[in-house]
Amino acid sequence: MDDQDGEQLVDELLADPRKFDDEGKAYALLQLYFKGFPVETLRPLLRSDNVFVQRSAAFVASELGGDSRNLVDDLIPLLSSVDRHVSWYAMEALTVCCKGEHIEKFAHVARMLESDDNALRGLAMRLVSNADVSQLEAAWRFFGAPDSYHRTHADALHALVAAHKVDPTFVVAMMHDPDPLIRRYGAIAAKRVLKKFPHLIMEAGSSVDSDLRRFHDDVVDVKGS
């Protein structure tokens, strides 16, 4: 592949971002990155003020997985995008890339459990429930720093890190907590101990909290497939 092909497609994206998105050309752009177009060229696209440019670039970054690891600091601001697609792709990319030197930045994905968007909260629950223990430990350290104002996250993440030792009644109590954030973490804990305590996820299914019910349904669908 000649880099000129990638440059030409990027020019098309910048010339008419919405048309580029509507025509699904982000997939064609992704193929060029798979063929060796420099990943670094995504950086200015992720930093664009145009949401459709961000959307195409974030999609490519999410599909490239670990190859996007040098773009972590450019992806984090996109979590607060007004566009659900942009935030969604950024969350997926960060989950894969927040390892090694970037591992504590997985906390930004966990913070999306507080999103005002129910779809993004649901994605955050799924991503955190499937995260490596090392990522959970790193997020716990991040939120547990002396200058942190996120003690709820820190305490709940500590429970996830030690999920294999946690009393099942504590997980149930989390799912019935008045704080919706703790309830979400409780459902995540139930998923992470699913093999040992399969009955716990049923508490999420019968919850008055719609986030927990949706999470339960997703877990059951995956388990049954």
Tell me what pLDDT residue 3 has. 78
Question: Is residue 173 assigned to a domain?
Answer: no
Question: Is residue 163 assigned to a domain?
Answer: no
Residue, of 202 and 165, whose pLDDT is higher: 202
Tell me the pTM.
0.94
Residue 86, domain extent: 1-97
Question: Is residue 77 assigned to a domain?
Answer: yes
Tell me what pLDDT residue 1 has. 53
Q: What share of the chain in percent tops pLDDT 90?
A: 88
Domain count within the chain: 1
Question: Is residue 108 assigned to a domain?
Answer: no
Question: Is residue 217 assigned to a domain?
Answer: no
Q: What residues contact 32, with CB distance under 8 A and at least 6 apart?
A: 1, 5, 6, 9
Question: Do you know the residue count of the chain?
Answer: 225
Within 10 angstroms of residue 21's Cβ, the number of other Cβ atoms is 18
Per-residue pLDDT band for 225 (boundaries 50, 70, 90) equals low
Q: What residues contact 146, with CB distance under 8 A and at least 6 apart?
A: none
Question: Is residue 44 assigned to a domain?
Answer: yes
Question: Is residue 196 assigned to a domain?
Answer: no
